[in-house]
A and B are shown apart, each in its own frame.
Chain A
Amino acid sequence: MTDFLDNWGLILITFLPLVGALVMMVVPKEAEDTHKALAIVASGAALVITILLLANFDYDDAGTLQFLVDKEWIPLINSGFILGLDGISLPLVAMTALVVPLVAIYSWNHIPEPGNPKAFMALILILETGMIGSFVAQDLILFFVFFEVVLLPMYFMIGVWGGPERKYASIKFFLYTLFGSALMIVAFLSLYFLSAEQTFDMRVLTELGGLDIARTTQILIFGGMFMGFGIKVPMFPFHTWLPDAHTQAPTQGSVILAAVLLKLGTYGFVRIALPFLPEGAQWWAPIIGVLAVIGIIYGALGCLAQSDMKRLIAFSSVAHMGFVMLGIATLTDFGINAAMFGMVAHGLITGMLFFIAGSIKDRYHTLEIKRLGGLLISAPRLGWILGFSSMASLGLPGLAGFWGEFPAILSAYQPAPMLNEALFRTLMVIAALGTVLAAGYLLWLYQRTAFGTPSEEFADDPEITDVSTIEWISWAPMLVLIVVLGFLPSLIFDVTNPAATVVVAAATGS
Chain B
Amino acid sequence: MLAVLAQAAEAFTKPVMDYGAIAPELVLVGTVILLALLDSWKLERARAAMPALAGIGLLVALIPLAVLAADGAPRVLLGGGYVVDSMALVLKALFIISAYVVVLLSTNYMAEGDYWESEYYTLLLSSVLGMAVMASSRDLIGIFVAFELLSIPSYMLGAWRKGDLRSNEAGLKYYLMGVFATAILLYGMSLAYGLGGSTNLEVIGERIASLGTDGVPVVALALLFVIVGFGFKVSAVPFHVWAPDTYEGAPTPVTAFLAVASKTAGFVALIQVTYFAFIVRPDVIEPAFFVLSAASMTVGNLIAIRQTNVIRLLAYSGIAQAGFMLAPFAVASANPEQSLQALVTYLVIYAAMNLGAFGAIIAITRRTRSAELEDLGGLFTYMPGLATVFTLFLASLIGIPPFGGWWAKFGIFASLVDADTGLGWALAVIMAVNTAIAAYYYLKVAKAMWFDDVPEGADTSPVSVPVSIGFALVVTVVATVLFGTLPQLINDATDFGLVAFGG
A interface residues (Cβ-Cβ under 8 A, vs B): 29, 72-77, 114, 116, 118-119, 144-145, 148-149, 151-152, 155-156, 159-160, 166-167, 170-171, 174-175, 178-179, 182, 185-186, 189-190, 193
Pairwise interchain contact A186-B432, C-beta atoms closer than 8 A: yes
**Set of chain A residues within 8 Å of B414, measured between Cβ atoms:** 77, 189
Pairwise interchain contact B451-A149, C-beta atoms closer than 8 A: no
Pairwise interchain contact A171-B443, C-beta atoms closer than 8 A: yes
Pairwise interchain contact B491-A76, C-beta atoms closer than 8 A: yes
**Set of chain A residues within 8 Å of B440, measured between Cβ atoms:** 175
Task: Take A76-B495, A159-B447, A167-B451 as given contacts and tell me if A144 and B432 are in contact as well, using a CB distance cutoff of 8 Å.
Answer: no
Pairwise interchain contact A145-B435, C-beta atoms closer than 8 A: no
* Contacts A145-B402, A148-B406 known; 16 new A-B pairs at CB < 8 A: A75-B491, A116-B384, A148-B400, A149-B401, A155-B443, A159-B450, A159-B451, A160-B380, A160-B450, A160-B451, A174-B439, A175-B439, A178-B436, A179-B436, A189-B413, A193-B417
In the assembled complex, 9 residue pairs joining A and B whose CB atoms fall closer than 8 Å, in A order, are A74-B488, A148-B406, A160-B380, A170-B451, A175-B436, A178-B436, A182-B435, A189-B414, A190-B417
Asked if B487 is an interface residue, CB under 8 A from chain A, the answer is yes
Pairwise interchain contact A152-B436, C-beta atoms closer than 8 A: no
Pairwise interchain contact B384-A29, C-beta atoms closer than 8 A: yes
Pairwise interchain contact B417-A189, C-beta atoms closer than 8 A: yes
Pairwise interchain contact A75-B488, C-beta atoms closer than 8 A: yes
Residue from A76, A149, A152, A156 within 8 A of B487 (CB atoms) = A76
Measured CB to CB, the closest approach of chain B to A155, in angstroms, equals 8
Asked if B108 is an interface residue, CB under 8 A from chain A, the answer is no
**Set of chain B residues within 8 Å of A166, measured between Cβ atoms:** 451
B interface residues (Cβ-Cβ under 8 A, vs A): 380-381, 384, 388, 391, 395, 400-402, 406, 410, 413-414, 417-418, 432, 435-436, 439-440, 443, 447, 450-451, 486-488, 491, 495
Pairwise interchain contact A145-B406, C-beta atoms closer than 8 A: yes
Q: How far is the CA of A287 from the CA of B389 in the complex (A)?
A: 44
Pairwise interchain contact B488-A76, C-beta atoms closer than 8 A: yes
Q: How far is the CA of A490 from the CA of B439 in the complex (A)?
A: 45
Task: Take A144-B401, A179-B436, A189-B413 as given contacts and tell me if A74 and B451 are in contact as well, using a CB distance cutoff of 8 Å.
Answer: no
Measured CB to CB, the closest approach of chain B to A169, in angstroms, equals 11
Residue from B400, B410, B418, B432 within 8 A of A151 (CB atoms) = B400
Measured CB to CB, the closest approach of chain B to A173, in angstroms, equals 11
Pairwise interchain contact B450-A156, C-beta atoms closer than 8 A: yes
Interface centre among A114, A149, A151, A156 (most CB of B within 10 A): A156
Q: How far is the CA of A47 from the CA of B418 in the complex (A)?
A: 43
DSSP class of A's interface residues: helix, strand, loop or mixed? Answer: helix
Q: How far is the CA of A190 from the CA of B416 in the complex (A)?
A: 12
**Set of chain A residues within 8 Å of B436, measured between Cβ atoms:** 175, 178-179, 182
**Set of chain B residues within 8 Å of A170, measured between Cβ atoms:** 447, 451
Q: How far is the CA of A145 from the CA of B485 in the complex (A)?
A: 9
Measured CB to CB, the closest approach of chain B to A361, in angstroms, equals 20
Measured CB to CB, the closest approach of chain B to A434, in angstroms, equals 34
Measured CB to CB, the closest approach of chain B to A509, in angstroms, equals 28
**Set of chain B residues within 8 Å of A145, measured between Cβ atoms:** 401-402, 406
CB closest chain-A residue, reference B407: A74
**Set of chain B residues within 8 Å of A190, measured between Cβ atoms:** 417
Measured CB to CB, the closest approach of chain A to B363, in angstroms, equals 17
Q: How far is the CA of A266 from the CA of B114 in the complex (A)?
A: 60
Pairwise interchain contact A152-B400, C-beta atoms closer than 8 A: yes
**Set of chain B residues within 8 Å of A175, measured between Cβ atoms:** 436, 439-440
Q: How far is the CA of A178 from the CA of B495 in the complex (A)?
A: 31
CB closest chain-A residue, reference B486: A73
Q: How far is the CA of A151 from the CA of B439 in the complex (A)?
A: 13
Pairwise interchain contact B418-A193, C-beta atoms closer than 8 A: yes
CB closest chain-B residue, reference A166: B451
Q: How far is the CA of A178 from the CA of B398 in the complex (A)?
A: 10
Kindly list the 4 A-B residue pairs having the minimum CB-CB distance in the complex, ordered from nearest: A145-B401, A76-B491, A148-B401, A159-B451
Q: How far is the CA of A353 from the CA of B436 in the complex (A)?
A: 35
Measured CB to CB, the closest approach of chain B to A227, in angstroms, equals 13
Measured CB to CB, the closest approach of chain B to A317, in angstroms, equals 25
Task: Take A145-B402, A148-B400, A149-B401 as given contacts and tell me if A167 and B447 are in contact as well, using a CB distance cutoff of 8 Å.
Answer: yes
CB closest chain-B residue, reference A189: B417
Measured CB to CB, the closest approach of chain B to A182, in angstroms, equals 6
Measured CB to CB, the closest approach of chain A to B171, in angstroms, equals 38
CB closest chain-A residue, reference B392: A152
Interface centre among B413, B414, B435, B451 (most CB of A within 10 A): B451
CB closest chain-A residue, reference B398: A178
Q: How far is the CA of A114 from the CA of B451 in the complex (A)?
A: 11
Measured CB to CB, the closest approach of chain B to A178, in angstroms, equals 6
Measured CB to CB, the closest approach of chain B to A239, in angstroms, equals 20
Pairwise interchain contact A152-B395, C-beta atoms closer than 8 A: yes
Task: Take A76-B488, A149-B401 as given contacts and tell me if A171 and B418 are in contact as well, using a CB distance cutoff of 8 Å.
Answer: no
Measured CB to CB, the closest approach of chain B to A187, in angstroms, equals 12
**Set of chain B residues within 8 Å of A185, measured between Cβ atoms:** 410
**Set of chain A residues within 8 Å of B417, measured between Cβ atoms:** 189-190, 193
Interface centre among A148, A151, A175, A190 (most CB of B within 10 A): A148
Task: Take A145-B401, A145-B406, A182-B432 as given contacts and tell me if A73 and B413 are in contact as well, using a CB distance cutoff of 8 Å.
Answer: no
**Set of chain B residues within 8 Å of A76, measured between Cβ atoms:** 487-488, 491, 495
Q: How far is the CA of A73 from the CA of B435 in the complex (A)?
A: 25
Q: How far is the CA of A77 from the CA of B495 in the complex (A)?
A: 12
**Set of chain B residues within 8 Å of A167, measured between Cβ atoms:** 447, 451
Pairwise interchain contact B439-A178, C-beta atoms closer than 8 A: yes
Pairwise interchain contact A119-B384, C-beta atoms closer than 8 A: yes
Measured CB to CB, the closest approach of chain B to A145, in angstroms, equals 4
**Set of chain B residues within 8 Å of A29, measured between Cβ atoms:** 384
Pairwise interchain contact A114-B435, C-beta atoms closer than 8 A: no
Q: How far is the CA of A38 from the CA of B489 in the complex (A)?
A: 32
Residue from A73, A114, A149 within 8 A of B381 (CB atoms) = A114
CB closest chain-B residue, reference A29: B384
Q: How far is the CA of A29 from the CA of B385 in the complex (A)?
A: 10
CB closest chain-A residue, reference B402: A145
Measured CB to CB, the closest approach of chain B to A194, in angstroms, equals 10
Task: Take A73-B488, A149-B401, A152-B400 as given contacts and tell me if A171 and B406 are in contact as well, using a CB distance cutoff of 8 Å.
Answer: no
Measured CB to CB, the closest approach of chain A to B30, in angstroms, equals 38
Measured CB to CB, the closest approach of chain B to A141, in angstroms, equals 8
Q: How far is the CA of A167 from the CA of B453 in the complex (A)?
A: 12
Measured CB to CB, the closest approach of chain A to B375, in angstroms, equals 18
Pairwise interchain contact B443-A174, C-beta atoms closer than 8 A: yes
Measured CB to CB, the closest approach of chain A to B210, in angstroms, equals 35
Q: How far is the CA of A384 from the CA of B42 in the complex (A)?
A: 83
**Set of chain B residues within 8 Å of A114, measured between Cβ atoms:** 381
**Set of chain A residues within 8 Å of B488, measured between Cβ atoms:** 72-76
Q: How far is the CA of A151 from the CA of B406 in the complex (A)?
A: 14
**Set of chain A residues within 8 Å of B402, measured between Cβ atoms:** 145, 148-149
**Set of chain A residues within 8 Å of B406, measured between Cβ atoms:** 145, 148
**Set of chain A residues within 8 Å of B380, measured between Cβ atoms:** 119, 160
**Set of chain B residues within 8 Å of A160, measured between Cβ atoms:** 380, 450-451
Task: Take A29-B384, A144-B401 as given contacts and tell me if A74 and B450 are in contact as well, using a CB distance cutoff of 8 Å.
Answer: no
**Set of chain A residues within 8 Å of B450, measured between Cβ atoms:** 156, 159-160
Interface centre among B400, B417, B440, B486 (most CB of A within 10 A): B400
